[in-house]
Structure 1
Amino acid sequence: MGYAMSRLEMDSELCDGDKTMPEAGSSKRASKSLDKLDHEIAQVTKLNSSPHKQLAKLVPGTQKLSVSPVKMLVGREANYSARGRFSAADRCHMLSRYLPVKGPWLVDQMSTRAYVSQFSADGSLFVAGFQGSYIRIYNVEDGWKVQKNILAKSLRWTVTDTSLSPDQRHLVYASMSPIVHIVDVGSAETESLANVTELHDGLDFSSSSDGSYSFGIFSVKFSTDGRELVAGSSDDSIYVYDLEQNKLSLKILAHTSDVNTVCFADESGHLLFSGSDDNLCKVWDRRCFIAKGKPAGVLSGHLEGITFIDSHGDGRYFISNGKDQTIKLWDIRKMAPNATSYSGLRNYEWDYRWMDYPYEARDLKHPSDQSIATYKGHSVLRTLIRCYFSPVYSTGQKYIYTGSHDSCVYIYDLVTGEQVASLQHHKSTVRDCSWHPYYPMLVSSSWDGDVVKWEFPCNGEAQVPATKKRIRRQ
């Protein structure tokens, strides 16, 4: 594969001075770019992805925005950091120049829609979930071989979400049912047929004892310590499941419509973020529930339902994808104690499941928008399309990326709002995509059944492009 190299080797491979990323000035811009984000997170991003300030004193001409790898190597040899090596920000400054935009190369191809695709935390595994009951776990460092082929149990409609445990020993999968199934992915079995070759234990998120399928789960995530699961559901609620005690530990009637997305804000597990079809994002602090179901704060600004939330990981910032065709960036310090969904501007009938977004709605603005930035250019239709911050290690979270109904993957600059890349291959909606935590590699999955990888090649390997390589459908 060439990707089993150490992180230090990767740094060396990317610093030979011969490789370049696409020129920012030649890329398309979002339909409405930010003037420039004037907020604390802009400074944080700069600190995380800019070269050491001492470099300017040692190497003339480094005051400009982008410093060449050659000049950075000169600075390192001069020991500008007094540590004899690149700082984390130096590394991000170089690696973030090499966007994973070349390709794509086919990873897998199925006859049903791909709904979920995510790298594990260390990047060694990749999980893809399909509407046809299959969930596949690929070993990234062993030529993308299928390490686990899971046939889901009691699937209703589709695999709506999956989550790998932090130790990568277990995977949970959800569908339009209150039962979340858990699989031992560390076992030797490759074929995991539910309750035939392996047990897929059912975790009941329903508070009723009659076994009724009264709601479905759209979002499920492991806590950082692997002891809990948090889930968002179609009955407007957030659930927390205690895996050690094997029981539901918390239910919050959180919103007035479907909770499409929920996640932990940081490693502590105390704060939760949720997003709903009631157009609101909410923050929940489990340490200080004053009243049952009362959030720590509410953030309004989307004009339509929220499809996904990704945390910056610091317990302060997060982004959300909305059916109003925007991604919004939030600072929870701006949240209000309460808010209600605002629909005063909507004088049209629209259903995102089958209609295009109304032209007259594209420039509407929420009168009390609490977000700190808005990103436009992609399309959020037909399904709960996901968006993410780019990796900490290789980019300093300098970018935001998202799938899109128009079959592309979009990458935006967090600070400028500029659309720096648009990845085009798929023939249908891209619901999910995932950027490798350490390497310049991004994998996208689509309703056309294709799972493909995009890279910035650094090992000279010749690969067969997805347009020429086909895999027998399952």
Structure 2
Amino acid sequence: MYFAGGIAVDDMGYAMSRLDTESDLFDDGNDITEAGSSNRTDEPLRKVDDEIAQLTNISSGPPGGLCQFMPGKQQLPVSPVRMLAGREGNFSGRGRFSSADCCHMLSRYLPVHGPWLVDQTTSRAYVSQFSADGSLFVAGFQGSNIRIYDVDKGWKVQKNILAKSLRWTVTDTSLSPDQRHLVYTSISPIVHIVNVGSATIESHANVTEIHEGLDFISDEYRGYSFGIFSVKFSTDGRELVAGSSDDSIYVYDLEANKLSLRIVAHTADVNTVTFADESGNLIYSGSDDNLCKVWDRRCFIAKDKPAGVLMGHLEGITFVDSRGDGRYFISNGKDQTIKLWDIRKMSSDTSCNLEFRNHEWDYRWMDYPPKARDLKHPCDQSVATYKGHSVTGAQVAVLKHHTSPVRDCSWHPYYPMLVSSSWDGDVVKWEFPATEKHPPLRTRRESGANNTIEGDS
């Protein structure tokens, strides 16, 4: 690694950019002196390990001065009344709540009340997710059903999709940014796209509506079959990225209606992929080879060569999600840990990737073996690791209802609402108590629920 103009550059030529100050987060107006500034031009940037912790602390509370100058008891948390009074008095100088203020307010309204039934089927629920604006909710079930619920209209079913050519189950779904189309995948190289903005509620594939099939088999591998585990729209809705059982990443150009890129990305199933930011140039992937990889479409050093690799998980990776800034993302692993990554710490060397895979347990329903629970990857590059449902504070709630593994759990993007879906066939929501009465949940089970959702403060 070398330094040019106060900016660290690693061996692969990637600039290690300075810690960005996000003005909305710094409520006290204090500037942070950064390494590499005019006062310390000859020193390297400080390590970024503490950046997320610092930003989290800054963004999770109201302005410090508010407790000091507003009347009443000087203690945290600051009451909503005091927060509103501070906003009306333009205490922050912005004339509005900052992102930190919003975070502090919402943290007081945990969705611990419920559950209230969204849907109940005899099929296992595999995937579920809110749309970006929270107005729609999508749930995919084992078999061939995908349902889209209109959240703003009492969770009425907007679209009941009977999927086409499924093998075993729906493996993933993704809504387009404009919410006009949905794609769904299965253990098949064909991704189907449905117009969910049409007036028809019952969407039976190629009976009541056309479910166009997008062929992900490249010309050089014509006749070769594989399954797709993960699919995501780009921010502009023009492309799809997919991860597959043939260890590859695929990019599909929707405007040209053809496959535009295939990367042999890993040495095992690619379980999860996502675009890193709105540019669409960076792609994150996670695989059963225990690795997270970063792919930069602007500068492939060689065919199937990633921009960098991130090691730390002891088992395969099931899901990755980007912060959207092209720097940070999180991953969920079969080792029952969640890891936070900064791609500025990625490397090109994978010789330290040790596989601790234990074939005597099933990650879907068993605890990680005690003998492996405290193992640490010798080359762990993650910024932070979260495990055992204990992150930064005491447990504040346990939500009990499901009797089978909770396969997916989704936060509403704005409201204090959580939706869980499970192999017991139930999709239920948990909310902060409102003034209106909710009908009691009609359940098939009276007792014995031992699958729970746990939350930390």
TM-score by length of 2: 0.82
2:292 aligned with 1:281: yes
Q: Does 1:444 align with 2:444?
A: no
1:461 maps to 2:420? no
Partner Cα separation in structure 1 for residue 105 and residue 357 of structure 2: 45
Answer with 99-108 or 350-359: which moved more: 350-359
Deviation at 1:361, TM superposition (A): 1.1
Instruction: Please give the alpha-carbon distance, in whole angstroms, between the structure 2 residues aligned to 1:431 and 1:349.
Output: 21
C-alpha spacing 1:110/1:271, structure 2 compared with 1 (3 Å): same
How many Å separate the matches in 2 of 1:439 and 1:81? 24
Asked if residue 218 in structure 1 is aligned to residue 193 in structure 2, the reply is no
The structure showing larger relative contact order (alpha-carbon pairs under 8 Å, at least 6 residues apart) is 1
- Taking only the aligned residue pairs, the percentage that are identical comes to 78
- Matched position secondary structure for 1:92: helix
Confirm whether residue 299 of structure 1 aligns to residue 274 of structure 2.
no
Displacement, 1:423?
Answer: 2.1
Superposed CA deviations along residues 35-91 of structure 1, whole A, max 9, x for unmatched, are xx9610122223333212442442268875522223223323433123443223212
Cα contact 2:67–2:75 (8 A) shared by 1: no
Which residue does 2:402 correspond to in 1?
426
Is 2:62 the partner of 1:51?
A: yes
Q: For residue 463 of structure 1, what is the amino acid of its counterpart?
A: H
> Unaligned 5+ residue runs, structure 1?
1-36, 379-411
**1:134 aligned residue (139, 142, 145):** 145
Matches of 2:130 and 2:357 in 1, distance apart? 38
1:264-316, Cα deviation, whole Å (9 max, x unpaired):
11111111110000000001111111111111110101111001111111111
Deviation at 1:332, TM superposition (A): 0.9
Structure 2: gaps spanning 5 or more residues: 1-47, 446-457
Q: Distance in 1 between matches of 2:264 and 2:221?
A: 20
Q: Decide whether the 8 Å contact of 1:55 with 1:62 is kept in 2.
A: no
Counterpart of 2:5 in structure 1 is none
Task: Give the corresponding residue for 2:177.
Answer: 166
Q: Which residue of 2 aligns with 1:358?
A: 369
* Structure 1 CA distance for aligned equivalents of residues 94 and 444 of structure 2: 46
Whether 1:105 aligns to 2:80 is: no
TM-score by length of 1: 0.79
Q: Is the deviation greater in 340-349 or in 426-435?
A: 340-349
Deviation string 1:220-261 (CA, Å, 9 cap, x unpaired) is 000000000000000000000000000000000000000000
Q: Paired residue for 1:325?
A: 336
3-state DSSP of counterpart to 2:321: strand
Seen in structure 2, the aligned counterparts of structure 1 residues 345 and 452 have a Cα distance that, compared at 3 Å, is: closer
CA deviation vs aligned residue, 1:77-129 (integer Å, no higher than 9, x gap)? 43312344322321221012211121010000111010111111111111000
Structure 1 stretch 356-365 or stretch 244-253: which is displaced more? 356-365
Distance 1:444 1:286 in 2: 35
Contact 1:278 1:341 in 2 (8 A): no
Structure 1: distance between partners of 2:83 and 2:114 = 28
Q: 1:78 aligns with which of 71, 89, 97?
A: 89
In 1, Cα distance between the equivalents of 2:191 and 2:442? 36
Cα distance 1:248–1:64, how it changes in 2: closer, same or farther (>3 A)?
farther
Q: Distance in 1 between matches of 2:361 and 2:406?
A: 21
Q: 1:435 is matched with which residue: 404, 411, 423?
A: 411
The answer for the alignment partner of 2:134 in structure 1 is 123
Aligned residue identity for 2:431:
E
The correspondence for 1:261, drawn from 259, 272, 279, is 272
Comparing 421-430 and 270-279, the one that deviates more:
421-430
SS in 1 for 2:178: coil
Distance 1:426 1:353, change over 3 A: closer
Contact 2:127 2:407 in 1 (8 A): yes
RMSD, aligned CA? 2.3
CA distance in structure 1 between the aligned counterparts of 2:94 and 2:201, rounded to whole angstroms: 46
Match of 1:11 in 2: none
Report if the CA contact (8 A) 2:172-2:184 is conserved.
yes
State the one-letter code of the partner of 1:95: L
- Residue pair 1:58, 1:80 contacting (<8 A) in 2 also: no
Offset, 1:340: 4.2
Alpha-carbon distance in 1 for matches of 2:328, 2:398:
25
Q: Give the whole-Å Cα distance in 2 for the aligned partners of 1:348 and 1:135.
A: 32
Aligned length: 398
* Rounded Cα–Cα distance in structure 1 between residues aligned with 2:49 and 2:393: 12
Relative to structure 1, is the Cα distance of residues 64 and 371 closer, same or farther in structure 2, using a 3 angstrom cutoff? farther
